[in-house]
Structure 1
């Protein structure tokens, strides 16, 4: 049963209106994009017609082909322009192709891209990361998924413990062991959507509800959990924010049980220059951030406290040299280091974040006013420059509530209706980002388009 039939009386939304909105938007999309339609047919040797299969998860009847991405705007092959509030699902948090990053990688291209050795930027990047994120020891990876894998391996080595713990509904990239959820029985089970996984991941991974310190305490009591891996706010479902006292309790409980705390800020980097952790005074033992950290170049970083790094170093010293399972050939390349340095020094600045916050304020207020006028039982959630419409009347507390707040039929209709009005938001849920390149006019366009689309839904 979808959102509309479950909506409270008086919500003013029906299946018929959603279907009509979707049908109208789909016809307009197909009728005005002949080159896009042709491109879909020409990509026969790409699996499902796209370079990465989840590109078909968008609401479009055939994939949107982007010819150019600059600042916070996209242009497709048919010449249509879009105000981009998805921003590559956070990868382009600071806008598409920031000039300092483009200049840095252009310079580095003439000096070498992959040497498997440090470049002169390496020490500077280490210092910048330590000052910004308040952890002393750092390593570079190519993706946040890799960084999380490596940090988990380091946590197991440092503690000598086999298990990890995740919060039900959280997202940590393509790390096999985190693809679990709390099943109907209340036990940890593999996510049903996981492809090609023969193992029972619950053997080494435990899942507990976000914001539930009692269940966290019980799950760590046997002292077999090496680390808790956590987003400070869950952002890749329907946004779930931490309740007062949750992070203080999480830190106290993990320390008491000798469990390391790994904070993954790949999405919550939107909160401020030092992420959610610096803004709200969190003290992780390990820290990961990817996607936007190098301005859109494939790079991620993972950091360790001094104590964690020392324990990890001892564990490594007791092993023979060879394949550690940590690192890839392209990790820490001169290409990545050049982009990281440019982003940290010149792009992800205090001034940039001030601009992003101001626009997110405008976005949040405008969207909340639309929902209030429409009388819809939804609310607006916020994490720094990250704003989301959540299809529930009150703030969510855990992953189970987040799953119940997802209504794919409604979401895809709204996303496509916005797209044909020149506005792009996240394809997976109603997430919108403000970047340093975003303008007030673009935010006003988003609000105007959302008002029109919502009006169509509620009549």
Structure 2
């Protein structure tokens, strides 16, 4: 029996018709996919771009606000928004202007400008952490902070939560299996045993957390304040307070990754929930869609970093070789765009609109699910919401994963794409941006309602 309560045979029949419809209505995408296979591995610039629900990749021509257009002339409502990379819409006017302004004034120099100072000041005011550094991706920011944490504490072990996602940092590619840390399934080309220096425990499980911290060898806990990439998992009341207390008790640092949870507000969960991390990391939307990431730290961590760097510099040939930083990090274009984003795009007013629209969408999803008598749940986190194929909100990554019905999710996504609506792939998450309207939400709800009606009308579709 499937987690969703919908028979696999019905899902396959439903999906087959949608695949045929896509191929018929997207001849230019089909032709570009065939051409791309001759020069791009898998026919796409990043191999995971071929893992969407479409039978061939959907090729985009242009995007603006909460809409994009494909090469076949179709217009789409976008509730994926680059999986948070364009959380405030595609090409917001202040970002487009900032790109044009900087284009003639140099793109990268390896030197700071006033934009960097302003960005540091504004980040400190938003998150309550006084010191900041800039990288290019959230993966980089997380990798660098892990290095700092190990240098500061003198410990090697990183603790993460089962089912976590923190970019492509090697150290986080682990899972918990019956209390044992193992490599994440599907991991390619990993040459070392990650379980020697990484430890995974279930989210929302305080006894497991304390047991993992108790040996006193954990440099840091790296976490999202709410899990977002294995299906949304919210923290239970008091859990994050206990996490902070236990990390302090056992001498471990706390790193909060806000890359997705920035949907909660201008200062993420860190500010909205009064968290007190040692470090915060954030990538994706921070520069309005231009590649950029940041990490911030407390005054105590800044002093510890200074001492660690000084000690490293004393080693023969050690000066300037921290192993952190890339040539294009904090380039002039990214800094100018981040400044515009922080000053003009990531505003309180923008968040108020996004949150109101997301709440409307979440309530509408509950009504659609109820109308079709499905035992699914809807989870909200600021501008983000998700429907999951389970009766109760999952408590941890394993429960969220157990609710997966991959073929059903892919079929529903393809049904929406065929009717001009995109939601986040690989799970059922949506984002609302400042351009999202009530009419856009109503269209998504009506289309999903129709799709579920068609699916459930197939013979033997319901398993219960």
Q: What secondary structure sits across from 2:158 in the alignment? A: strand
Measured in 2, the distance between the counterparts of 1:31 and 1:224 equals: 58
Instruction: Name 1:17's counterpart in structure 2.
Output: 10
Correspondences of 1:222-301 after superposition (within 5 Å): 222-301=215-294
TM-superposed CA distance for 1:458, in Å, is 2.1
| Superposition TM-score, scaled by structure 2 size | 0.96
Name 1:399's counterpart in structure 2.
Answer: 397
The residue correspondences of 1:353-392 to structure 2 (distance < 5 A) are: 353-392=351-390
1:32 aligns with 2:25: yes
The equivalent residue for 2:45 is 51
Q: Contact between 2:232 and 2:379, CA under 8 Å: does it hold in 1?
A: yes
Distance 1:342 1:289 in 2: 17
1:340 match: 338
CA deviations over 1:70-129 (Å, ceiling 9, x no partner): 100010000011100000011000000011011111111111011000012111011010
What is the alpha-carbon distance in structure 1 between the residues aligned to residue 99 and residue 243 of structure 2? 40
What are the Cα deviations for residues 297-334 of structure 1, in whole angstroms up to 9, with x where unaligned? 10000001000110111011011203211110011111
| Superposition CA RMSD, Å | 1.0
Select 1:116's aligned residue among 83, 95, 110: 110
Partner of 2:146: 152
Q: Do the aligned residues in 2 keep the contact of 1:17 with 1:456 (CA within 8 Å)?
A: no
Q: 2:395 is paired with a residue of what secondary structure?
A: coil
* Distance (Å, rounded) in 1 between the aligned partners of 2:9 and 2:144: 49
Q: CA deviation at 1:390?
A: 0.8
- Mapped partners of 2:356, 2:207: distance in 1: 37
SS at match of 1:343: helix
Is the contact made by 2:3 and 2:402 (CA closer than 8 Å) also made in structure 1? no
In structure 2, the partner of 1:440 is: 438
Q: 1:303 aligns with which of 296, 308, 311?
A: 296
CA distance in 2, matches of 1:212, 1:361: 28
Q: Report what 2:123 is aligned to.
A: 129
Aligned to 2:202: 209
What residue in structure 2 maps to residue 100 of structure 1?
94
Q: Write out aligned runs for 1:309-348 (5 A).
A: 309-319=302-312, 320-348=318-346
Q: What does residue 427 of structure 1 align with?
A: 425
User: What's the TM-score, normalizing by structure 1?
Assistant: 0.97
3-state SS, counterpart of residue 318 of structure 1: helix
**Contact 1:287 1:304 (8 Å CA) reproduced:** yes
Give runs of ≥4 in structure 1 deviating > 3 Å: 1-4
Report if the CA contact (8 A) 1:2-1:409 is conserved: no
The answer for the alignment partner of 1:10 in structure 2 is none
Task: Tell me by how many angstroms 1:277 deviates.
Answer: 1.3
Partner of 2:185: 192
